Amino acid sequence: MEQLDENTPMFAITVAAELAVMHPQTLRQYDRLGLVVPVRTGGMSRRYTMRNIAQLREIARLSAEGITLEGIRRILELENSNADLAKRVRDLEQALANELMNRPGARVFAAGDQGVVSLTRGKRPSKSTSVVLWRAK
């Protein structure tokens, strides 16, 4: 069974427009401008996600505050980049946690004045001010 999340394309343009309190033609225009780009089905119809709906509402709010569409495009670009980076950090944290679980008791690395260095089991960092991460036995 497929899991639904904020990035699951599920809303046709009429439903998305209603949820965003906009006219469907506005959504088409934003798609042409690249502000909110929905997923396309095999038949080329648009499918919007909950994230798209939130972005459409944010566009409306920013527009009401007097921000130009180009300014809004840049804001959304930065927010999307930030969200992608946050996901990458979560993925890396999960990978690190999985690695630590597979090697209980093994030291992974130390961070200090000299930067980050890898440590082998039983080796201590050269400086006493270093931070060492490991999983307790």
Contact 89, 120 (CB under 8 A): no
CA dihedral 29, 32, 33, 38 (to 10 degrees): 90
67 and 38 share one domain: yes
Contact 53, 19 (CB under 8 A): yes
16 and 76 share one domain: yes
Please give the tally of structural domains in the chain: 2
Q: What is the pLDDT of residues 46-91, one digit of tens each?
A: 999 999 999 999 999 999 999 999 999 999 899 889 989 999 999 9
Q: What is the pLDDT of residues 5-36, one digit of tens each?
A: 888 889 999 999 999 999 999 999 999 999 99
- Domain of residue 121 covers 103-137
The whole-angstrom separation of Cα 130 and Cα 30 is 51
- Which residues 6+ apart lie within 8 Å of 39 measured at CB? 9, 46, 47, 48, 49
37 and 85 share one domain: yes
Mean pLDDT of the 115-137 span: 61
